[in-house]
Amino acid sequence: MIGKIKIKNTLVANFTVMILLILVIGQGILYAWLMLYQRSYLKDRLRDEVAATAGLIRDAVTMGHDSKQLDMFLEMAVKSGTILSVKIIDVNGNILAAKAVQYKEEGSRINPFFMFYVPESNIINLPVKTSASGGGKDAGRIEVVYSGRSVNEVMRRFLIIPPFMQVATFLIVIYAIVKFFQRKVGRPVKRINEALARATGGDLTVELSEFRDDEFGSIAEGFKFLIGRLTSTLNKLRSMSEDVSMAINQLTLTFKNVNQGTQKQTEAINEITTAIKHAGESHKQITEDTGKLVDFSNENVTSLLEMKATGDEIALSTGRLFKAAEDAYSAVAEVSQTAKVIAENAGEASSAVEDTSAAVEEINASVKEVEGNARESARLASNTRAMLGGQCLDEVSDAITSMDTLMSEVKQSSEIVSRLSGRSADIEKVLKVIKDVTEQTNLLSLNAAILAAQAGEYGKSFSVVADEIRGLSDRTSASTKEISNIVKTIQSEIADAVKAIDSNMNRAAESHTLVYKSGEDMARALEVAQKSAAMADAIERATGEQTKGLKQIAVSVENIRKMMEHTAKATQEQQTGTAHLLESVSDVKDAADIVKRGAEEEAAGIKAVSTNLELADERIKQIGEATSGYQKVNEGTADAMEQMRAIGMAAVKDVEEVSISLTTLSKEIELLKKEMEAFKVKNAK
């Protein structure tokens, strides 16, 4: 852009040519005027001389000299060399006397300086009059032809010598001017030019010093001042762009943290969701088991009712037996002879015993069934307990731990995002400073352009610098606007993220309470399950005791049957003594007593079992209700978790968008930085 100026455009050349033109034109006009004046002066003098000679001849003619004397006069006139020929002519045109000199005719040369020359031949006619006494009439005329050669020779000398002198003087003057300009103007201009070329190339380290206190000195001062201002502005811009770059790097780092946090959060939520799903499945199992348990307890109740009926039958039979035995005893005691009655009674007793035995068998079967059911109940109850106590509680406590982690993660995210918000406010501040600097640069460029334009020819190259600065400030302004827009986008996205995180927090808190509630419900269900297990155990134990009692009854009834057979034999024999019989009947009475006690015991056992079973039934129903309630809670938790996960995903998306914006911003800043680095600047002092 700025280079060597062509020699014909240099000020020195222009100036020199100008001076030369003025000198040549001025001198030329003066010289021409002088020459013309000289010529007319010389010409007039010559003419006067010739006229004087002609006058002498006229006087001679008038005075009436004879022709010989006249001829001598003419000879004298021609001898001088100036006069070429003399003729004396009378009134009628007859030549009275003539004299001419023989000279070389040089021909009519075309003289380039004709205006400075006198023609080669000139004619003067002088009229001759008769003397005053003769009447003063025209007597004729004298014609003199003279040459301008002598004048021309003088003129030629004047035309040749002075121009040569002038040329020599001009050469000396030109030399002096060129030398002077090279010293005073050429060198400083060259230095300023070089400095400008370097500055335009982006090198702001140029130094301009040792200038005299003239116009170049002030231009150099102005240039130095501008370079200084530009350097400081560039330094400011550079540090600014580095600050922005650092801030953005920090932002990017912070964002990565947020990203990780959010991902962790999403993972935690996924874990919780899985845990809650597991808990739900377990709960379904529990509900099914509890349903089965309820069925079983219903069956138990039916069995118990059957058993009670059987027990009542047994009691009736036992009562009959007892009565029969007592009757037999009193009969045997009172009547020893009435064997028939005895035999009848014994037969009756025997059939009663048979009935009893069958009833006992039946009871035994019922009790076995009850026992089986009770065992199944116990197993299911312990299953429930194990399920509630083990896996489920673990899962719930896992969920609570995850919830706590989630809460702290969300809180952390919230803090990070609010820090991010603060950072973007910092960026805004920095941008404001950049905007101020850009405006300052713009002003600087305008002032520089004005200075350059006022400097005229010298400022041309300088105005290129001014344009560059202006372009830089325009570009910076555009970049600043873009960055400002991006920062605004980031801020709104951060606000979105803050909203999302806030709603996340609320969701997490809700889920937290839900999970805690479900944990409490679980604990309550566990308690109920334990109680029902204990109940089932008690039922099992009671049933076992009952079975034992029934075995005793069976053994006793067997004994009675044997006794009865024995009695029957004895009755058949009828030989045996009544005392023996009595003894035997007494034995029967004792046995009947035992049977009665066993039956009573059994009734009590059945009552206990029945009460326990009813209790268990109630408990199981409670478990069922609690479980279904828990399941509802669980479903609510699962929904909340799903919502939370969706919000988390949205947060991740927001954060990713912010991340993309940040990357764009970072690129912009890099571009700006590169732009700045194109300028080579002295290190800031």
Partner 1 sequence: MEKFAVFKIGEEDFGVNINRVVEILKSQKIYFLPELPDFISGVINVRGDVIPLLDLRKRFGIHTGAEKCRIIVVRCEDEKIGLLVDEIDKIIPFHPEEISAPPAMFKGLKTEYLTGLGKKEDRIIILLNIERLLTSEEKIALQSASLTADGLSNDS
Segment contacting partner 1 by CB under 8 A, of 175-183, 450-458, 490-498, 632-640: 450-458
In the complex, what is the shortest distance from the CB of residue 443 to partner 1, in angstroms, rounded to a whole number? 6
Q: Which of 95, 453, 495, 684 binds partner 1 (CB under 8 A)?
A: 453
Is the CB of 470 or the CB of 589 nearer to partner 1?
470
Q: Which residues pair with 140 in a beta bridge?
A: 90, 128
Asked if residue 161 binds partner 1 (CB under 8 A), the reply is no
Asked if residue 583 binds partner 1 (CB under 8 A), the reply is no
In the complex, what is the shortest distance from the CB of residue 465 to partner 1, in angstroms, rounded to a whole number? 13
Q: Which of 446, 534, 608, 649 binds partner 1 (CB under 8 A)?
A: 446
Q: Which of 245, 440, 503, 664 binds partner 1 (CB under 8 A)?
A: 440
User: What 3 state SS string does 89-148 have?
Assistant: EECCCCEEEEEECCCCCCCCCCCCCHHHCCCCCEEEEEEEECCHHHCCCEEEEEEEEECC
Interface with partner 1 in residues 460-499 (CB under 8 A): 463, 470
User: What 3 state SS string does 457-486 have?
Assistant: CCHHHHHHHHHHHHHHHHHHHHHHHHHHHH
Helices (H), 335-392: 339-387
In the complex, what is the shortest distance from the CB of residue 652 to partner 1, in angstroms, rounded to a whole number? 41
* Binding pattern for the stretch 253-292 against partner 1, x by CB under 8 A and - elsewhere: ----------------------------------------
Segment contacting partner 1 by CB under 8 A, of 355-363, 404-412, 441-449, 578-586: 441-449
In the complex, what is the shortest distance from the CB of residue 467 to partner 1, in angstroms, rounded to a whole number? 9
Angle at 655 between CA 652 and CA 656, to 5 degrees: 85
> HSE on the CB side for 674, CA within 13 Å?
7
Helix (H) or strand (E) holding 86: strand 83-90
In the complex, what is the shortest distance from the CB of residue 236 to partner 1, in angstroms, rounded to a whole number? 16
Q: Give the span between the Cα atoms of 349 and 365, in whole angstroms.
A: 24
Q: Give the span between the Cα atoms of 373 and 609, in whole angstroms.
A: 12
Q: Which of 454, 575, 579, 685 binds partner 1 (CB under 8 A)?
A: 454
Is the CB of 450 or the CB of 646 nearer to partner 1?
450
Return the sign of the alpha-carbon dihedral for residues 51, 52, 56, 58. positive
Cβ-based neighbour number of residue 44 at 10 Å: 11
What spatial distance separates the first Cα and last Cα of the chain, rounded to whole Å? Answer: 31
Asked if residue 361 binds partner 1 (CB under 8 A), the reply is no
Tell me how many residues contact partner 1 (CB under 8 A): 11
Segment contacting partner 1 by CB under 8 A, of 285-293, 314-322, 415-423, 449-457: 449-457
Asked if residue 449 binds partner 1 (CB under 8 A), the reply is yes
Q: Which of 447, 484, 576, 611 binds partner 1 (CB under 8 A)?
A: 447
* Binding pattern for the stretch 219-258 against partner 1, x by CB under 8 A and - elsewhere: ----------------------------------------
Q: Give the span between the Cα atoms of 531 and 618, in whole angstroms.
A: 11
φ, ψ of residue 579 to 5 degrees: the values are -60, -45
In the complex, what is the shortest distance from the CB of residue 2 to partner 1, in angstroms, rounded to a whole number? 18
φ, ψ of residue 454 to 5 degrees: the values are -70, -30
In the complex, what is the shortest distance from the CB of residue 451 to partner 1, in angstroms, rounded to a whole number? 9
In the complex, what is the shortest distance from the CB of residue 445 to partner 1, in angstroms, rounded to a whole number? 9
Is the CB of 229 or the CB of 607 nearer to partner 1?
229
Q: Give the span between the Cα atoms of 281 and 419, in whole angstroms.
A: 42
Is the CB of 439 or the CB of 583 nearer to partner 1?
439
DSSP-derived letter for residue 9 is G
Segment contacting partner 1 by CB under 8 A, of 71-79, 447-455, 554-562, 601-609: 447-455
Estimate to the nearest angstrom the gap between the alpha carbon of 525 and the chain centroid: 54
> HSE on the CB side for 570, CA within 13 Å?
20
Q: Give the span between the Cα atoms of 384 and 286, in whole angstroms.
A: 6
Q: Which of 56, 95, 425, 450 binds partner 1 (CB under 8 A)?
A: 450
Estimate to the nearest angstrom the gap between the alpha carbon of 584 and the chain centroid: 112
Asked if residue 439 binds partner 1 (CB under 8 A), the reply is yes
Q: What does the binding site for partner 1 look like in residue numbers (CB under 8 A)?
A: 439-440, 443, 446-447, 449-450, 453-454, 463, 470
